Structure 1
Amino acid sequence: MDQSPGRPGTGTEVAMRSPLDRLRHALSFEIIALLLIVPLGAAAFHMPMQDIGVVGIVSATIATLWNMLYNYLFDLALRRSTGTTLKSGLVRVLHAVLFECGLLVVLMPFIAWYLSISLWQAFVMDLSFAVFYMVYALIFNWAYDRLFPLPEWNRAAA
Structure 2
Amino acid sequence: MKTIERIFQAVLFEAVALAIVVPTSALVGGYATEKMAIVGIALSTFAMCWNYLYNILFDKIAGESRQIRGAATRIIHACCFELGMVIITLPVLAWYLNITWLAAIILETSFLIFILFYTLIFNWLYDNYQPYQRLVNRS
TM-score past 0.5 threshold: yes
Match of 1:34 in 2: 18
Counterpart code for 2:125: A
Counterpart code for 1:143: L
| Structure 1 residue ranges without an equivalent (≥5) | 1-16, 149-158
The answer to whether the aligner puts 1:135 opposite 2:120 as a matched pair is no
- Give runs of aligned pairs for residues 121-132 of structure 1, distance below 5 A: 121-132=103-114
Deviation of the 1:47 alpha carbon? 1.3
Deviations 1:47-101 (A, max 9, x none): 11111111111111111222344567778969715359xxx9x78x846555433
Match of 2:92 in 1: 110
Instruction: Give the root-mean-square deviation of aligned CA atoms.
Output: 3.0
Q: Residues 30 and 60 of structure 1 are in contact (CA less than 8 Å); yes or no, is this contact kept in structure 2? A: yes
Query: Aligned pair count?
Result: 127
Q: Choose from 35, 43, 60 the match for 2:44.
A: 60
Structure with more contact order per residue of length (Cα contacts < 8 Å, sep ≥ 6): 1
The answer to whether the aligner puts 1:80 opposite 2:62 as a matched pair is no
CA distance in 2, matches of 1:63, 1:106: 10
Match of 1:9 in 2: none
| Structure 2 residue ranges without an equivalent (≥5) | 132-139
Deviation of the 1:19 alpha carbon? 2.8
CA distance in 2, matches of 1:119, 1:112: 6
Name the TM-score, length of structure 1 as normaliser.
0.65
